[in-house]
Structure 1
Amino acid sequence: MNTSTDTRPVPLSRNRNYQLLWVSQASAELGVNITTIAFPLLVLALTGSPSAASLVLVTMSAARLVVGLPAGALADRWNRKAVMVLCEAAQAVAAGSLVLALWWDVATVPHMVAVAAVIGVAAALFEPAEEATLPNLVPAEQLGTAVSINAARGYLAQLLGTAAGGFLFAVGRVVPFLVDLISHTVAFLGLLFLRIPKQERKSAPVGQLGSEIVTGVRWVWQQRPLRTMALCAVLLNLFFTAFYLVVIILAQTRNVPAGEIGVMASLLGVGGLLGALAAPLLHRLISPAVSIIGVFWVLTLLTPLTIWIDSGYLMGLLFAGMAFTLPAANTTISTYQLLLTPDELRGRLGGVMGVATGVAGTAGPALGGVLMELLPATTAVLVCTGGIALTALLVTLSPTLRNFPRPTVPVEEHGATTTEERAS
């Protein structure tokens, strides 16, 4: 009689819990991207005020940044499934309130600002909870693939949501927010059926939340690879987002048609999506050091080419090439971070990294605007290129990143990630 058992992990395509999480968040992220496009259009239609329209988007971003560090600590303190379910419920209720207000013609700017704040807070809470949960849903050896597929999910939702947001708003002002309500309701129902292995949670008074946040920040700072990667990511995000705005403004000054500028932005997402789909293969074939350091030098070489390109389509292809290189490096970094960090600190890891990159992503466009005010457009491009090149040089000279290890599979975690009996 054959008593052998197949110990190979279940493929992600047949991992029920991972599929539930992926599909739920594909739905939710589509709704969020639709809303992000439709929100300023709605405010402009109701008030005619660009400042009011920007206030809604600024509120969304500011809420994520302000709540980011506490959210990571709460993801480690609270039941992570409950956090994710409640976040989707809150966003569904917020979207539903706006749908009713628009239907009854009583929507106001303060109401829309409140809805934007709910979206920002929910995103700040959800993301570290989901990131910390992922290693408990998939075997450690499949974690890199799961991270890259999640990245593809984000790029796909951004592409579809950006295209659909304006179209749905043209159909009717209430339509994009009704779709958002449906998307979060679908995500809420899907997450209800998610089974997550039970994690030990120590009860602690609310007053200790500050010390828990400090513990998380200290943990990231004391791990040299995490600290180095965080600092380099902040610098890259700062200069690249500044560069992106500079190039958009440069294209407008060269009378590039608005349709071509839209194609430029879309091809950036297409490149990221293709890169995310290729990331699992590249993650296996390319050493971590080459994957990470290569991104910085590719961007350094490609960004100055925008000075001589007048076609929006060619600029879009250049953007696609830049974006294609990012997911493989992000997969390597995220997988290493999650495997290195103890489960009880993974939420705080996500909170710290989210705030660091979020601050850079917010400051980058401001830097780009200042550069365009003070310098000729081509000079502004070169300044951004110089910042990226300096970061690339620092990355190349860093012994930590030159010798960056390939993520290893911790044996003790493998069983925990595949034990269905412990799921709740």
Structure 2
Amino acid sequence: MAAHSPSVVKTEEDARRSRDFRLYWMAGAIDQIGSQASGIVFPLVTLAVTGSPAAAGLVGALALAGRLVTAPVAGVLADRLPRKRMMIGALLLAAAAMAVVFVAVAAGVPTLTLLAGAAFVEGIAQSGYESAGAGAIRRVLPADDKKALARLEARNHAAQIAGPVLGGALYQLGRWVPFLVDVVSYVLAAGLVAAIRTDLTPDRQERTSFLTDMRAGLRFVWRQPVLRFVTIWAAGINFVFGALIYYAILTAGREGAPAVSIGLLLTIASVGGLVGALGAPLVFSRVRPMTVVVFASWAMVALVVVMSQARQTWNYGLLFGLVFLLSPLLGVIFQSRAIELTPDGMQGRVATVMGTVGEVLQTPAPLLAGVLVAWQSPTVVALVFAAALAVLAAYTTANLRRLAAHVDTGTGPGTDQAGRGTEQDAGPAGRETQATEEVRG
């Protein structure tokens, strides 16, 4: 039997990658829409059961706590266990938690303990799914990775728009309906992940202790200059954006804006992010990535300065839409390089470290926004956040030379000409050690 030519093998591999990436994309879309739909009604159900806004806040806090507490462990497991099985198991665990809520609400017997416990378990499951998914993404990315990552960004923004609207509509049919839909979404997502043919098992030969693996992930991020930069940048932008959103909501509410107008403000912001993500491939085809980085970083500062003079809700919405339109351009560039620089056997840990740092710093953002709005004028508060964005933009500019060496060329240690990881750095733990030694040097 004649052997396949390299070009035929390459074509078959690209076709498989494209198919599996579509399955990966659809699984995440269905999962996120279902979670957003139930997430918007979870506090409403808790409030109806307990009559306490504090109890509703407790349930939300426990969901976040489940994610944050589990993240370090999930990141290590994602580089140890078969990632596809881990993703499926996490989705089914989340489905079981929401099934308990669905049955209890439908039977009219939900309790605060049950809702809080289910929220915590769902947070644990989401952390496991996200860590394993982040570890697996390198295996399914097509050759045009920036275009693929832009599609993932667009998916996330679209889910943020469609999910809450769907959840509100389903809630009108019955309190239990959004939870049933969420259960179905988790099961469907698990089925799509199961259909992925690519081997997602991490490359790992050397067996080390759990704590050693965890420390290795932290050290790798800290000692790799580009990964360290992306982690700090992402944490900073998450914090500022989280505070900005609450600033706009609280300021508009204090000035008497109706709830529907405030909801429209958030919708416009999400639409801006969706448009930015959809337009990212076109921008990258015409403008050098480093030019995009510089322009977007400083343009966001200018937009927030203008926001300091806004006094009407539609002004806030328009400016937020423009800010969120620019942010996916930076996110796609930085995420692409982070994936390329990270060996396959460390993808889960590195992604978890970067994501957890961002989530931890985002947690106090609403509190800061509330304190500032209570004590300062809207103009001063907006200028404070503009100054924070200016610090991030200056930090980015100061790292331009280092970023340009990797981002514009799309090549660097352990990458091929398409910017994806080669077999040399996607290999076993021994090669991870070599990559780490290069970082130390």
Tell me the equivalent position of 1:68. 71
Scaled by the length of structure 1, the TM-score of the pair is 0.91
Distance 1:356 1:223 in 2: 16
Distance 2:16 2:328 in 1: 20
The one-letter code sitting in structure 1 at the alignment partner of 2:79 is D
SS at match of 1:77: coil
The one-letter code sitting in structure 2 at the alignment partner of 1:153 is R
Tell me the equivalent position of 1:150. 152
Aligned counterpart in structure 2 of residue 410 of structure 1, from 416, 425, 429? 416
CA shift, 1:16, in A, is 2.1
List 4+ stretches of structure 1 deviating above 6 A.
9-14
What per-residue deviation string (whole Å, max 9, x for no partner) do you get for residues 116-137 of structure 1?
Answer: 1122112211112112212212
* Closer, same or farther: CA 86–14 of 1 in aligned 2, 3 Å: closer
Distance 1:103 1:310 in 2: 44
Q: Which runs of 5+ in 1 are unaligned?
A: 417-424
* Closer, same or farther: CA 109–234 of 1 in aligned 2, 3 Å: same
Tell me the equivalent position of 1:164. 166
Tell me the equivalent position of 1:56. 59
| 2:230 and 2:338 in contact (8 A); partners too | no
Distance 1:376 1:413 in 2: 49
* Identical pairs, percent: 30
CA shift, 1:414, in A, is 6.3
User: Looking at both structures, which has the greater relative contact order when contacts are Cα pairs under 8 Å and sequence separation is at least 6?
Assistant: 1
Distance 1:10 1:148 in 2: 21
CA shift, 1:403, in A, is 5.1
CA shift, 1:344, in A, is 0.4
Tell me the equivalent position of 2:90. 87
The one-letter code sitting in structure 2 at the alignment partner of 1:145 is K
| 1:57 and 1:116 in contact (8 A); partners too | yes
Tell me the equivalent position of 1:241. 242
Aligned counterpart in structure 2 of residue 33 of structure 1, from 28, 32, 36? 36
Tell me the equivalent position of 1:422. none
Matched, 1:214 2:215: yes
Q: Which runs of 5+ in 2 are unaligned?
A: 425-441
The one-letter code sitting in structure 2 at the alignment partner of 1:319 is F
CA shift, 1:226, in A, is 1.0
Tell me the equivalent position of 2:49. 46
Tell me the equivalent position of 1:187. 189
Tell me the equivalent position of 1:261. 262
Distance 2:273 2:89 in 1: 30
The one-letter code sitting in structure 1 at the alignment partner of 2:30 is S
Cα RMSD after superposing both structures: 2.4
Distance 2:136 2:422 in 1: 14
What per-residue deviation string (whole Å, max 9, x for no partner) do you get for residues 376-414 of structure 1?
Answer: 332222211111112222222234346553323526956
| 2:102 and 2:180 in contact (8 A); partners too | yes
Report matched runs for 1:18-417 at 5 Å.
Answer: 18-139=21-142, 141-197=143-199, 198-202=201-205, 204=207, 208-398=209-399, 399-401=401-403, 405-406=407-408, 407-408=410-411, 409-410=415-416, 413=421
Indicate the larger mover: 376-385 or 213-222. Answer: 376-385
* Closer, same or farther: CA 107–379 of 1 in aligned 2, 3 Å: same
Distance 1:309 1:177 in 2: 39
What per-residue deviation string (whole Å, max 9, x for no partner) do you get for residues 166-198 of structure 1?
Answer: 221122110111111111111112222222225
| 1:81 and 1:196 in contact (8 A); partners too | no
SS at match of 1:194: coil
